[in-house]
Amino acid sequence: MELEIDHIGIAVRNVEDMVQTYCKVLGIKPEDIERETVEEHRVKTALIPLGQSRIELLEPIDSEGAIAKFIDQRGEGIHHLAIGVRDIKAVIGALKEKSVPLIDAEPRIGVGGTKVAFMHPKVTKALLEIVEK
């Protein structure tokens, strides 16, 4: 199984404010940042490039989504670590065989049309997302 860190997801109250902060701190041009609203996940996102990886800023678009609930309970901060894979269905199958608890037994559509699935953090002690581009 070939794995890589795809991105680190950070829950924020205001994506555009944090884009400005990250641009200033990291010296990144605002036009290099991809933005997208993902209605299914109830978030506005900004993807900040960092070499082969990215920082994904996530702002809730309403009070019902997982990111809104995360911020209400824990405040802004690191939400998940995303691991890039070549074949998400094969990885999900391998995780099921190992009895790894999954939040998503089937892939969903994520930012940029990616396929994503989350593992339950009770085993890994962090929320891990697997991503197929």
Q: Encode pLDDT of 24-55 as tens digits.
A: 999 999 999 999 999 999 999 999 999 999 99
* Confidence at residue 2, expressed as pLDDT on a 0 to 100 scale: 79
**How do strand 43-50 and strand 53-60 relate by DSSP bridges?**
antiparallel
Domain range enclosing 64: 4-132
Residue tagged 């969903």 (tokens): 108
Question: How many angstroms from the chain centroid is the CA of residue 5?
Answer: 11
Contact yes or no for 108/91 (Cβ under 8 A):
no
What's the DSSP call for residue 133? -
What is the per-residue pLDDT across 90-131, written as a single tens digit (0 to 9) for each? 999 999 999 999 999 999 999 999 999 999 999 999 999 999
Instruction: Choose among 29, 58, 53, 54: nearest CA to 42.
Output: 58
Number of domains in the chain: 1
Backbone angles phi, psi at 52, to 5 degrees: -85, -5
The whole model's pTM is what?
A: 0.94
Q: Please give the Cα distance from 102 to 61 (Å, whole number).
A: 25
Whichever domain contains 87, its CATH number is 3.10.180.10
